[in-house]
Chains A and B, each alone.
Chain A
């Protein structure tokens, strides 16, 4: 590209292509944070399922903290690797929202482990708000649907408590299954769509 004068039509074409190319580049790999949090949460949940199902020591409950401890540094590496050199409002809004949700969830984890109470419902509700909002901001229907599904699914845990059904181990498996729908599926869809563009 140099300093040549353009015709009016060429100018409009250039403006359109520059804006579109820039948007595509910024949207690349937007599903990766979903995959990092999704896969690690599911892996830890499955491990915790075996802990509870086999009656191992409650000390293993601290393993839940492996989720933020692993995801934090991995996300820092991902962010550094994906840095494009440009910032836009959508990026800033989504990352600020996930940071706030992440901190809130960390407190919920702390409460859950310290007091031995199940806060799966609140954690799923918080994360589903993040997924649904990301889907709305990114205008991605599958992500919106997965977020909305998870939001409704967060009601399963209080219902199980009210009707006194479902062992703690079963609740952990349901929690993991919701995370598959809420984080892993939208993550792959977002990455596939941005690569396809």
Chain B
């Protein structure tokens, strides 16, 4: 039987954010915006959603005088992402 895909990760922008964060220790908002090409508003909303479920940790600080939002994936996020990729593989393996 095919495993259900996590609906929270099965969205283009949220999946892109998680994919970037899984490959780095942390990334700031500007980096995520540039890498995903998303608008600031949309990115901010999706980051909030991922933070609310505990997949990412968000830290607000300053870089000099400029405000800086830094995101990092949590252990819970890594587990959810791994499970999502495993589920995807099972779909691809079934020839879908």
Binding site for B on A (CB under 8 A): 1-6, 8-9, 11-12, 14-15, 18-19, 21-23, 25-26, 84-89, 92
Contacts and interface: CB of A to CB of B under 8 A. Distances in A.
B15 A19 contact: no
A138 to B, nearest CB: 15
A99 B5 CA distance: 44
Given A18-B19, A86-B27, A87-B24, 14 more contacts: A1-B12, A1-B37, A3-B11, A3-B46, A5-B12, A6-B15, A14-B15, A18-B35, A19-B20, A22-B19, A22-B27, A25-B35, A87-B25, A87-B26
For B12, B13, B37, B46, which residue has the most chain A Cβ atoms within 10 angstroms? B12
A86 B24 contact: yes
A85 B12 contact: no
Chain A interface, DSSP helix/strand/loop, else mixed: helix
B24 A5 contact: no
Interface of B: 5, 10-16, 19-20, 22-31, 34-38, 42, 46, 85, 88-89, 91-92, 96
A2 B20 contact: no
A11 B27 CA distance: 21
B24 A2 contact: no
Contacts of B24: 22, 26, 86-88
Given A85-B31, A86-B31, A11 B15 contact: yes
B59 to A, nearest CB: 12
A20 B30 CA distance: 18
A85 B19 CA distance: 16
Contacts of B27: 22, 85-87
A85 B28 contact: yes
Given A1-B37, A2-B42, A3-B46, A12 B88 contact: yes
A121 B14 CA distance: 53
Nearest to A21: B35
Contact of B25 (A1, A19, A88): A88
Contact of A92 (B11, B19, B25): B25
Contacts of A19: 19-20, 22-23
Contacts of A89: 25
B92 A12 contact: yes
Contacts of A11: 5, 10, 15, 88
Central interface residue in A2, A6, A23, by most chain B CB within 10 Å? A2
A85 B26 CA distance: 8
B18 to A, nearest CB: 8
Given A15-B19, A88-B24, A6 B92 contact: no
Closest 3 A/B residue pairs (Cβ): A85-B31, A18-B19, A86-B27
B38 A1 contact: yes
